Amino acid sequence: MKYYLLLPILVLTLSASAQVTTFSIDSSKFIKPVMVTLDSIYQQDQAPRLKFLDAIRRKEKAPAVDSLRKIMLQKDQDNLRKVVSIIDQYGWLSPQKIGMNAGQALFLVIQHADLATQKKYLSMIRAAEKNGEILSSNLALLEDRINIREGKKQNYGSQSFTDTYTGQVYFYPIAEPELLEERRKSMGLVPMQEYAKLLNTAWNLKTYKEMLPEIEKLAAQRKF
């Protein structure tokens, strides 16, 4: 079973540092037709996920959950075709050009795409982050997801899974976990304890390091 992270949307102001956590937005400069399309895609991306995650939380029967998952994945494919067309025409569009929700839609559709698509756009998104055109936290999430899909350790601890038998939430293997908080801070991510609470679990560095061999075994059995 795949689990998808829902990202909060914040309207912020531009940071002068290399780390992109905020934007200065002038709505008069928006590319309105693209913004409207991507605002709609944002809703289409999030609505099926809310239903899917709610069904999991309520422990609905497998057929119902699988049906919602199929709807979500089909919508992902539809959204990806639209987003690829937009990127082909305009390149990467920052929130300064299309607004926050539309900017997040652009990222989320890539984040929810297949591995080949994620890798295809990774260099573009890295360049966008360097140029202040996407949140640093978004880049961190994409890099983590790619690493996990390739069987590598994640750097920012953003990717988790739920054990089918126990219901326990685990974080996929993290590289040098003692440096995790420093890396998260560098990309504008909240502290790990705060993030874990959002996932209805807890975080303790010592416990995680002790459990890492077992987590690696569990993760190796899963398809991301």
Q: Over range 199-208, report the average pLDDT.
A: 96
CA distance 154 to 140: 9
Helix (H) or strand (E) holding 192: helix 192-198
Convert the pLDDT of each residue in 32-85 to its tens digit.
Answer: 999 999 999 999 999 999 999 888 888 889 999 999 999 999 999 999 999 999
Helix (H) or strand (E) holding 162: strand 160-162
CA distance 68 to 60: 11
The confidence score (pLDDT) of residue 189 equals 98
* Average pLDDT across the chain, whole number: 91
The confidence score (pLDDT) of residue 207 equals 97
The confidence score (pLDDT) of residue 14 equals 37
CA distance 52 to 65: 7
Residue whose entry in the numeric block shows the structure tokens 């890295």: 126
Convert the pLDDT of each residue in 3-31 to its tens digit.
Answer: 333 443 333 333 334 799 999 999 999 99
Closest CA to 173 of 139, 135, 138, 212: 212
Helix (H) or strand (E) holding 171: strand 169-171
Contact in structure between 25 and 99 (CB atoms under 8 Å)? yes
Closest CA to 98 of 109, 89, 108, 106: 106
Asked if residue 129 has pLDDT above 70, the reply is: yes
* Percent above pLDDT 90 for the chain: 82
Residue whose entry in the numeric block shows the structure tokens 């984040």: 111
Token pair, residue 224, equals 């991301």
